[in-house]
Amino acid sequence: MKNRHGVKHGRPEEYRGPLTLAEAAAGMNAALRNAQLLLADAKLLLNAERYPTATALAALSIEESGKVSILRGLVLETTPDGLRKQWGRYRDHRSKNGAWIMPDLVAKGARLLHELSEVVNRDGEHTAILNTVKQIGFYTDCYTKGYWSEPEKVIEVGLARSVVQIAEIMAAKETVTEREIELWVEFLGPVWRTPEMPFALLRWATAMHTEGLSTISPGRYAQFVFGEVTAADRSSEPPEA
């Protein structure tokens, strides 16, 4: 039996169906607002030299920011199985924290979309690392016989500052509008999970720039997706459909 808040057996019932464009945008903005709140708390703890909890909260902030890209994929799903899998990703910790390695990849020279592909690998080692860091920042545990891990003894200032900085990068996003999601569905929906997606991404970015929803020029976006581009690609005119 549920109460008036939709709580069943002491836990809110999880929704797993389709979302309207307005609902998806609202979910993205809610995640970003919460990411920024968690980040603010992490900074307070960092300044107070409470490094383990600062690190753990920053990891939670990263996960909240990671929900945005998952919701973008969810609005393109049209089958019950596709929706089920995408909601599974939304509620799976490791699926949401992959982007935390992006600054490291960029520092190593990654500049193009395909060079950042490891970000979306849910089973990559980097997703397990951040999930572990989050756990050891909150809890004691036994990892080898007779050795007890305590957050205060494991998480040091360098790691705390690094994770907080990454959370700050990821949480620094503008408000998502319903029109942005409408354009996303218009351009990406017909080619979802096909080799044509990079071209659709460029058409979406061009429309976003044309309507004043993005400050990234089509030329810069084309360079990010495809690498070296021609002068025509760098123009502000939308590419042909």
Instruction: Tell me, yes or no, whether 106 and 69 share the same domain.
Output: yes
Residue 231 lies in a domain: no
Indicate if the pLDDT at residue 237 is higher than 90: no
What lies within 8 Å, CB to CB, of 35 at 6+ separation is 61, 62, 64, 65, 167, 170, 171
The neighbouring-strand residues paired with 142 are 148
Spatial contact of 38 and 66, defined as CB atoms under 8 Å apart: no
- Work out how many domains the chain is built from and give that number: 2
209: in domain: yes
End of a domain among 128, 156, 171?
Answer: 171
Residue 102 forms part of a structural domain: yes
In a domain, 219, yes or no: yes
Residue 88 lies in a domain: yes
Task: Tell me what the pLDDT averaged over the chain comes to.
Answer: 82
First to last CA, the chain: 51
130 and 156 fall within a common domain: yes
Instruction: Report whether pLDDT(119) > 70.
Output: no
87: domain CATH number is: 1.20.120
User: Is 74 or 105 the better-scoring residue by pLDDT?
Assistant: 74
Residues 93/61, Cβ–Cβ less than 8 Å: no
pLDDT at 12: 80
Structural domain including 221 reads 178-226
Whether 190 is in a domain gets the answer: yes
Residue 120 predicted with pLDDT over 80:
no
Predicted local confidence at residue 8, as pLDDT: 57
The pLDDT tens digits for 88-117 are 999 987 676 666 555 554 556 645 555 445
Residues 122 and 198 in one domain: no
83, pLDDT greater than 90: yes
DSSP secondary structure of 138-200: H--EEEETTEEE-HHHH--HHHHHHHHHHHHHHH--PPPPHHHHHHHHHHHGGGTTSTTHHHH
